[in-house]
Amino acid sequence: MTQRTRQGTAALGAVLLGAASGCAATDEPAAAPPPPSSQHPPPSAAGGATQESDFTLVASGDVLPHDSVIRQAKADADGDGYDFRPMLAGVRPVVREADLAICHMETVYGEKGDYTGYPAFKSPPQIAKGLAATGYDSCSTASNHTLDDGADGIRRTLDALDTAGIRHAGSARSPAEARTPAWLKAGGAKVAQLAYTYGTNDYPLPEGQPWAVSLIDEKKIVADARAARKAGADVVVVSVHWGTEWQTEPDERQLGLARKLTASTTAGRPDIDLIIGTHAHVPQAYEKVNGTWVVYGMGDQIAGPMTNYERVRDPRGNQGSIGRFTFAPPVKPGERWAVKKAEFIPQWMDTDRGRLVNLPDALTRGTDRDEYHEAQSAIRTAVLGRGAAKDGLTMGR
């Protein structure tokens, strides 16, 4: 990690969050937006009225392809490009069973084999196909690595996600796209996803494109959420790339912004219905704040062997959780879609095998490995660290 990435970025007067971007791995030898729609269209009642029903939404952490991850995907493709599907197969049942699934695509895509890991990431675009095959409907694309290859990297990334049929929010190819949430539908609800990052590792925004990456600014986030609501959003989900790397406890800026965003209301209805966080590279707590669930940090989903700021291999860098939230229709017109059930599912990136592991599922099936027990215990402790169990958060599988 360099001093540049430790210091983070101050940009455009935004309220910047987070300490720094490490994203370093210890590699071992091996490798205009589409219209609203969904893989899960809502049922229609007689006469064309939309029936409202419960729906589940899952969200997962940083997809961060280090060099070793890229080599693994190349090996899994058996000589035909890059295949990320085997790597993600362990979480595919959880993702595909949900009505909506959101990932965090931390890096941008390269082209013609020009792929690199840390510190300036350019990932194979085939990862978009792998995410789609796993069942993801949308990805946040605002991170401190969004400008690792300038405007071209953004364009290639969003083009590949479009081709794979994955919605996206947080970076843009045009001002109109920057103003447009990722629109999704499930259970008769129209869902808007917005995404923001604390900074871009001191890379300046592309000349003439101040809208290329959405930066964290409390007033802008609230305004965007209200605009999405005015455009018909029943549920507003905000993805935020924030926090202090390698710190399990949410920092004061995370806590403060979470309080302010969840306190924002219009006509007595919260403007934001769920906040999902990334960036810290370690699992962080879930917490119900002002009646709204906040995931401070889901940890990494895909990453190579991670080293912390002390340059020590840190197993937390390959631990993460998938959040699963069941939304129920409003009891009365004008009320919010409320989360009736909140769950977390511990997951672990087995870097030796290059595979994601659904830990509760593996342990239930009798895979009795010490590292599985240790990882699940560590994730559970972090996730429940701010008392979420008292508000009903449970571990799923």
pLDDT digits (tens, 9 = 90+) for 144-184: 999 999 999 999 999 999 999 999 999 999 999 999 999 99
Q: Determine if the peptide bond prior to 315 is cis (ω within 30°).
A: no
Strand pairing of 274-278 and 292-295?
A: parallel
What are the phi and psi torsion angles at 63 (to 5°)? -95, 110
CATH number at residue 238: 3.60.21.10
Q: Can you give the pLDDT at residue 24?
A: 72
Cα–Cα nearest to 64, from 381, 320, 388, 357? 320
Residues of the chain with pLDDT under 50: 1-21, 27-48
> What confidence tens digit (pLDDT) does each residue in 354-380 have?
999 999 999 999 888 999 999 999 999
- Enclosing domain of residue 308: 3-395
SS3 sequence, 69-96? HHHHHHHHCCCCCCCCHHHHHHHHHHHH
Radius of gyration of the chain from its Cα atoms, rounded to whole angstroms: 19
Q: How many CB atoms neighbour CB 216 within 10 A?
A: 23
Number of structural domains, the chain? Answer: 1
Q: Can you give the pLDDT at residue 26?
A: 57
